C-alpha cells in the first residue's frame, strides 16, 4: 500500500518538557491510523504538528509525497475534527456545514449540492435548519465531521472526537465513523486514549508512551504480540510472569523456570538461549479453568498448575476469576459459550486447575519488573 502521509524525525518541546522524541511514522492512503496512548504521551502534539498548528524544533511533514513542513494550516489540505465540536452556535446545521466553502468563495449552487451530500452522508437531512443546541452530542459530532469533509481534504485528523459522549453513543458513533470512512475513502488519523475505540476502528495503531512510539501494528498484532511491557499492559488485560530459560527444546520451543511455579514449555518466539531472563505476558482469556485435573493436558500441549479462587466478577458474557498459584495472583477469564447456569462454576476458595497452551503466550525478552530493558 502506498505511503501517503509521513512524519519524519519530529521533535517538539514545550519549555523544558520534551513532548515528542524523534518520532517517525508512515500512514497509508485510505487507511484509518490511530495514535493511542495515555494523557500526556504526545499524541495530540503529533496531530497538531501534522495539521500545522504546532511547529516542531526539527523534522519534516510530508503529504502525498510533498514536503508541507513550511505550509500554514489553511494550505495543507488537512482538516481537523475536535473533541468539543467547535460548531458556530448562531448558525444552523446547514450553514455550519456550508461555512468552509463560503469562505473559499465557491458558487452557492455548488455549495448547496455539497451540503446536501454531506447531510445525506451523516443522515441529518431532517435537522438541516436546527441550531447546534437543538441536536444531540452525537449529531453535533457528525456535523463537525461533515464540516471538515465538505472542503474535500486529503487527510482528516480526529482529536479525541468521541470523548465527550456516553458509552452507548460512543459505540454507535464508532460504527458511524467506520461507515463514513468507507463511503468517502479518505485517510483518517485518529487520536484517542481509549483502546476500545482504536481497536474497533483502526487499520493500524501507533501506541505512544512518554513522547515515543512503542509499537506500530494492526489491532491484532498490537494485542496478540506486544513488543514491550507497556504495550502489553496498556492494551487489554494481561498477567506478567518473570522467569529464566533453562533448556532449549526440539524445534521452536524452550523450557522456562517461572519463578515460584516451576518449569514449563513455551514457544520461543524470541529465540532466547539458556540463561536468558524473560518476562512472559499471558492474556486472561488464554487460560482455561478446570474443576478437576484434565487427563490429556500434556498430550495437547497444555501447561497446568493448581490454584485457589480468591475473587470472582461475573460480567454476563464472561466471568473473571482471580486465583492464587504459589505467591502469584492471576486473572483468568472464562467465556460463557454454554449457558452459565447449566454447569457448575468455580466459586470462592475452590481448588481449581488452570491451563494454558504453550503457544498462547507473549515473550518480552530481558524486561525487568519495572518494564525497563
CATH number for 258: 2.40.50.100
Q: How far apart are CA 48 and CA 233, in angstroms?
A: 27
Q: What is the pLDDT of residue 26?
A: 97
CB-based contacts of 334: which residues, under 8 Å, 6+ apart? Answer: 288, 289, 318, 319, 321
Last residue of a domain, one of 234, 257, 283: 234
DSSP letter for each residue of 323-371? EEETTEEEEEEEE-SS-GGGS----TT-EEEEEEETTS-EEEET--TTS
In a domain, 101, yes or no: yes
Last residue of a domain, one of 213, 234, 255: 234
C-alpha cell at 119: 447531510
Same-domain check for residues 187 and 251? no
Total count of domains within the chain: 2
Percent of the chain with pLDDT over 90: 83
Same-domain check for residues 221 and 341? no
In a domain, 292, yes or no: yes
Same-domain check for residues 305 and 268? yes
Same-domain check for residues 196 and 310? no
Considering the entire predicted model, what is its pTM? 0.91
Q: What is the pLDDT of residue 297?
A: 66
* Tens digit of each residue's pLDDT (9 = 90 or more) over 289-331: 999 998 876 657 899 999 999 999 999 999 999 999 988 999 9
Asked if residue 264 has pLDDT above 60, the reply is yes
Same-domain check for residues 265 and 344? yes
* Tens digit of each residue's pLDDT (9 = 90 or more) over 180-192: 999 999 999 999 9
CATH number for 27: 3.40.50.300
In a domain, 157, yes or no: yes
In a domain, 39, yes or no: yes
In a domain, 87, yes or no: yes
In a domain, 373, yes or no: no
Domain with 217, as residue range(s), is 3-234
Q: What is the pLDDT of residue 298?
A: 61
Last residue of a domain, one of 234, 261, 287: 234
In a domain, 371, yes or no: no
Same-domain check for residues 255 and 148? no
Same-domain check for residues 225 and 266? no
pLDDT band at 2 (very low <50, low <70, confident <90, very high): low
Same-domain check for residues 43 and 182? yes
pLDDT, average across residues 167-188: 92
Q: What is the pLDDT of residue 370?
A: 42
Same-domain check for residues 247 and 230? no
3-state secondary structure (DSSP) of residue 303: strand
Instruction: Tell me, rounded to whole angstroms, the distance of Cα 50 from its chain centroid.
Output: 19
pLDDT, average across residues 97-120: 96
Same-domain check for residues 208 and 272? no
- CB-based burial of residue 65 (10 Å sphere; 0-12 exposed, 13-18 middle, 19+ buried)? exposed
pLDDT band at 365 (very low <50, low <70, confident <90, very high): low
Same-domain check for residues 52 and 194? yes
In a domain, 372, yes or no: no
Asked if residue 367 has pLDDT above 80, the reply is no
Same-domain check for residues 258 and 311? yes
* Tens digit of each residue's pLDDT (9 = 90 or more) over 16-55: 999 999 999 999 999 999 999 999 999 999 999 999 999 9
Amino acid at each position: 500500500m502506498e505511503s501517503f502521509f509521513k512524519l519524519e524525525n519530529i521533535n517538539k518541546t514545550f519549555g523544558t518538557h520534551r513532548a515528542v522524541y524523534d518520532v517517525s511514522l508512515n500512514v497509508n492512503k485510505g487507511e484509518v491510523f490511530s495514535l493511542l496512548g495515555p494523557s500526556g504521551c504526545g499524541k495530540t502534539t503529533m496531530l497538531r504538528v501534522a495539521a500545522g498548528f504546532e511547529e516542531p524544533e526539527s523534522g519534516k511533514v510530508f503529504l502525498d509525497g510533498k514536503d508541507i513542513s513550511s505550509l500554514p494550516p489553511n494550505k495543507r489540505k488537512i482538516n481537523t475534527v475536535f473533541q468539543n465540536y467547535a460548531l458556530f452556535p448562531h448558525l444552523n446545521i446547514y450553514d455550519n456545514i456550508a461555512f468552509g466553502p463560503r469562505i473559499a468563495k465557491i458558487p452557492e449552487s455548488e455549495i448547496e449540492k455539497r451540503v446536501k451530500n454531506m447531510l445525506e452522508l451523516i443522515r441529518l437531512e431532517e435537522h438541516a435548519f436546527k441550531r447546534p443546541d437543538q441536536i444531540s452530542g452525537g449529531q453535533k459530532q457528525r456535523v463537525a465531521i461533515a464540516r471538515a469533509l465538505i472542503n474535500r481534504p486529503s487527510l482528516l485528523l480526529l482529536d479525541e472526537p468521541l470523548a465527550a459522549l456516553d458509552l452507548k453513543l460512543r459505540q454507535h458513533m464508532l460504527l458511524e465513523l467506520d461507515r463514513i470512512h468507507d463511503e468517502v475513502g479518505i485517510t483518517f488519523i485518529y487520536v484517542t486514549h481509549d483502546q476500545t475505540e482504536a481497536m474497533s476502528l483502526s487499520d493500524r495503531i501507533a501506541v505512544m508512551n512518554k513522547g515515543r512510539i512503542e509499537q506500530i501494528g494492526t489491532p491484532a498484532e498490537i494485542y496478540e504480540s506486544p513488543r514491550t511491557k507497556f504495550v502489553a499492559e496498556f492494551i487489554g488485560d494481561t498477567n506478567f510472569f518473570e522467569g529464566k530459560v533453562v533448556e532449549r527444546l526440539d524445534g521452536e520451543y524452550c523450557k522456562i523456570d517461572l519463578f515460584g511455579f516451576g518449569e514449563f514449555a513455551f514457544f520461543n518466539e524470541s529465540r532466547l538461549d539458556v540463561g536468558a531472563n524473560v518476562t512472559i505476558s499471558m492474556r486472561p482469556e488464554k487460560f482455561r479453568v478446570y474443576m478437576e485435573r484434565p487427563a490429556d493436558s500434556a498430550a495437547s500441549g497444555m501447561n497446568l498448575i493448581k490454584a485457589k479462587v480468591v475473587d470472582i466478577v461475573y460480567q454476563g458474557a464472561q466471568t473473571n476469576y482471580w486465583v492464587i498459584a504459589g505467591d502469584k495472583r492471576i486473572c483468568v477469564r472464562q467465556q460463557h459459550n454454554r449457558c452459565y447456569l447449566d454447569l457448575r462454576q468455580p466459586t470462592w476458595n475452590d481448588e481449581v486447575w488452570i491451563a494454558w497452551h504453550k503457544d498462547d503466550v507473549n515473550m518480552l525478552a530481558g524486561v525487568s519488573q519495572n518494564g525497563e530493558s
